[in-house]
Structure 1
Amino acid sequence: MTTPSSRAGTKGVPRAARERQVLAAATEEFGRHGYEATTVAVVAARVGVTKPLLHHYFGSKQELYLACLNPVGDRLLDAIRAAMAEHTSDAPPTSLRVLHALFTALDGQREAWFVLYDTTLPPDSDAARRAEHYRRAIDDLAAIGTTDLLHAAGSSDPLDADALKYAWRGLCTALVRWWVTHPDQSPQAMAERCARLFAAGHSILASGGEGR
């Protein structure tokens, strides 16, 4: 028997394929413009389906957002965990492994980062709570890495760790935002660029800013 998910969609496109098109378009719209400014009508028009059909496939705008968010959040968490678990002798530092993993997970859908970190989600909504779940999980992983860095530097102040955790989130967001505007940059190129930037920053701090 034919299942609902395998029935033909619009214009002969199988429903599963049409749903993937909708999710790709919606992820880009939410990521570029934010939840508040994104409309179901715009997403439907981009894909070439009717607004009622999109509602039939995904339900409300919030349910469509969640359908975009969940795979993004799961993909990023899996990538970060895998990067942090790598402990080979020739592996790059954890921070660079995590960044490379983030860039790789976002490649082809770079705006997805801003779906997760959308500041326009309705307060106390299912969408806001789910996004916060993923943000908190990513922050918890970041806290592990930043605490280890601070211990190596001789700091045990928990506020140092908390401040560095938020600085790390801001750094990741800034790098992804730059990456979106430079589509020719591959994940590997971005990771190599970050390594150079980190090395330059370390040299500047080590020299106390001499030569400015």
Structure 2
Amino acid sequence: MPRAVREQQMMDAAVQTFGQRGYRAASMDEIAELAGVSKPLVYLYLNSKEELFTACIKREAKALVAAVRSGVEPGLPADRQLWDGLRAFFTHTAENPDGWAVLHRQARTHGEPFATEVMVMRDEIVAFVTGLIGTAAREAHHDPALPDRDVAGLAQALVGAAESLAGWANDTPGVSAREAAATLMNFAWAGLENLMRGRPWLPPNKSAGQR
């Protein structure tokens, strides 16, 4: 079997084990047994448990970003692009629950260097969503009506909500990727659409004695 194929086979086993057992509880013996290889071969190909876990994070992050990007067709209306992106995100996380568990739960809770790898992925998705929201706002107003800071904040909020909802959807029997995407779309788009049309919600004026 070619080395690249064997490595992917071992990483598939590692993602399943890390995702279901957790990084600390997972053992190289379990991973080797699930992959159908000897433990020395796992070490030969992937050096250490830490390096194996890092490789899994990088692979799963790359696949998630690619899924979101490929799910969005440029040139469509803003709400359709957002819907397609959310549906691609939730479809991928639903079809790869162990990979999502590695990214969302395991990597973030075990410090460096794992958390940094996840932040690289998250920053790329936030940048992509920022571009979608910014483009939609400019098209709606025919000028850059929303400040860059506001657009960036909206993207951070939307991505954070999607991450939390994906974890809930994967843990809740019967929740489909389409349902999860529709839930977030209904939650987010009503506000975003008003922003696109120049009707933002504004906090009440400060009254005497209030801060």
TM-score between the two structures when normalised by the length of structure 2: 0.67
Q: Quote the offset at 1:139 in angstroms.
A: 1.8
In the other structure, the counterpart of 1:147 is 134
Do the aligned partners of 1:107 and 1:187 also contact (CA within 8 Å) in 2?
A: yes
Paired position in structure 2 for 1:182? 172
Structure 1 residues 193 and 129, CA gap change in structure 2 (3 angstroms)? closer
Confirm or deny: 8 A CA contact 1:28 1:109 kept in the other structure.
no
Once residues 58 and 100 of structure 1 are traced to their aligned partners in structure 2, the CA distance between those partners, rounded to angstroms, is 34
Cα distance, 1:171–1:189 mapped onto 2, change above 3 Å: same
Shift of 1:35: 4.0
Q: In structure 1, what is the equivalent of residue 88 of structure 2?
A: 101
Answer whether contact 2:162 2:184 (CA < 8 A) is retained: no
Tell me which amino acid in the other structure corresponds to 1:69. I
Question: What amino acid is the match of 2:180?
Answer: M
Any unmatched runs of 5+ in structure 1?
7-15
Structure 2 residue aligned with 1:80: 68
TM-score of the pair, normalised by structure 1: 0.67
Determine what percentage of the aligned residue pairs are the same residue: 27
Residues 1-212 of structure 1 aligned to structure 2 (within 5 Å): 5=3, 16=5, 20=8, 22-32=10-20, 35-36=23-24, 38-44=26-32, 50-88=38-76, 93-117=80-104, 118-123=107-112, 125=113, 127-148=114-135, 152=140, 156-198=146-188
Matched residue of 1:65: which SS? helix
Paired AA for residue 40 in structure 2 = P
Contact conserved, 2:94 with 2:170, CA < 8 A, in 1? no
Structure 2 vs 1, CA of residues 148 and 66 (structure 1 numbering), >3 Å: closer, same or farther?
Answer: same
Q: Could you tell me how far 1:176 is from its partner in structure 2? A: 0.7
Q: Secondary structure at the match of 2:146?
A: coil
Per-residue CA deviation, residues 111-144 of structure 1 (Å, 9 max, x unaligned), is 3234334213442x3x454433322221211221
RMSD: 3.8
CA–CA distance in structure 2, aligned partners of residues 107 and 115 of structure 1: 13
Once residues 134 and 83 of structure 1 are traced to their aligned partners in structure 2, the CA distance between those partners, rounded to angstroms, is 17
In structure 1, give the amino acid aligned to 2:61.
G
CA contact (8 A) 1:146 1:161 kept: yes
The count of corresponding residues between Structure 1 and Structure 2 is 191
